[in-house]
Structure 1
């Protein structure tokens, strides 16, 4: 059973202050980082008509919240610092079209005592978030399911932003039309995913995504089926690159991405090793570009003048 957070007088006051701050800052939403269930009706009464997003590491903490017109975001980084959880909550909110990339958010969270909402911040999101919105991906005319495309893009952005062990990492994902894609590939030696069961190669699994980040340090491309299964890794792409034109400065990985997307019905997602930029290729052309998201947001200090000694 999920732990319950008591709706205290302090929480009531925080909601009232957050509402006034949202009006002052013309904020787009209130974001609550919660660690248990709350009396949703009292929370809705306290927040009025504001757009409220609830984020938690556990799905059961968000149970029935949507019945009270709250949007919910499930996180997957338990025991991480508050800053990292808030960052993921904001990223996922943008990726799910709950917030716009330029939104201002009033965030409420437990900064000092577990289970007690005792801190509040005004957060202004950058205009270049390092995540695509669902709306952006829907613009692509492809047979690759949206969920598979979004999962792969999010993973590529993570690799571009984080690298591995402090070092930048570049890689390439070729998604969809995998049987035809494989006709243009040959392994660069050892294939790390060969021999594993299908269930152990699905990108929806967090452990699989973490393993992919490790494998991405090796040369070669990942071939991904339309249902999000890693078919092979460390593949050399040898599709013809005739009549393809790319911007100056893009290397062999991007040429391979353009070529394979021209020769097949796949979408190629290339991560630049030099700066972490992610590019989506379709039919030999760059369709979308995502810059690495290294500074999640700008934190605004409250305008507060401490009392003078004479006060």
Structure 2
């Protein structure tokens, strides 16, 4: 359907740049043909060109609603999801790994967690720690092998890696089979205005947490 509509547009444009009546006649015949084909397809499968934008708008609305009240920028959220997908699919050095990202309300998240190791991002300039910086990608993937979570501000600054969440996980109830990493991230999102993103080492499934619950699941 989309190809026919593109062809119609191109042929219409072509009629405006030629004075040859025989060429114009052929082009108009082609326009008529593609219009008929487009109409037939529209009757058979509906107006596909209208449905696609609606799906995109719906997805955008879902993201906006998920992030509301967290202070997390949509661009930052999407960048972390993209990194999580790459980690989920590629692993590291040929082996699967699991990791977690906590986005937003970073002061409270840091107050309710502690370093398992020396923070690898300590001492670097703010602009050098932006998750949206392509130069950060390899560092993030490398440090994703560490135990603990990444803590990232709402505007995308990586505050820490290897962060151990210290709050009680007994306040959250997740499905069986989800381990300590998932429960810890669920708990921190219940106690703070943050978003949690967890990559499962087993299967690579990505779960997004908000308010102590699984808000969305992404399968690679």
Q: Which TM class, normalised by the smaller chain length?
A: 0.7 to 0.9
Question: Larger Cα Rg: Structure 1 or Structure 2?
Answer: 2
- The structure-2 alpha-carbon separation of the partners of 1:243 and 1:100, relative to structure 1 and needing over 3 Å to count, comes to same
Residue 119 of structure 2 corresponds to residue 191 of structure 1: yes
Q: CA deviation at 1:268?
A: 0.7
Secondary structure (helix, strand or coil) at the match of 1:217 reads coil
- 1:47 is displaced (CA, Å) by 9.5
Question: Which position in structure 2 is the counterpart of 1:45?
Answer: 10
> In the alignment, what sits opposite 1:227?
155
1:149 is the counterpart of 2:149: no
Runs of 5+ unmatched residues, structure 1: 1-18, 24-28, 31-41, 49-96, 102-131, 293-311
> Shift of residue 44 of structure 1?
5.6
Mapping 1:85-164, distance limit 5 Å: 133-140=59-66, 141-143=68-70, 144-164=72-92
Gaps of 5+ in 2: 14-51
TM-score by length of 1: 0.53
Task: Say if 2:212 is the partner of 1:284.
Answer: yes
2:38 alignment counterpart: none
Higher RCO (Cα < 8 Å, 6 or more apart): 2
Show CA shifts across 1:272-291 (max 9, x none).
Answer: 01111111111100000000
Number of equivalent positions: 179
Residues 14-73 of structure 1 show CA distances to partners (whole Å, capped at 9, x for unaligned) of xxxxx79x45xxxxx98xxxxxxxxxxx9962598xxxxxxxxxxxxxxxxxxxxxxxxx
Supply the RMSD in Å over aligned alpha carbons: 2.7
Moved over 2 A (4+): 97-101, 132-136
Q: Secondary structure at the match of 2:151?
A: strand
Aligned-pair distance for 1:146?
A: 1.5
TM-score, scaled relative to structure 2: 0.73
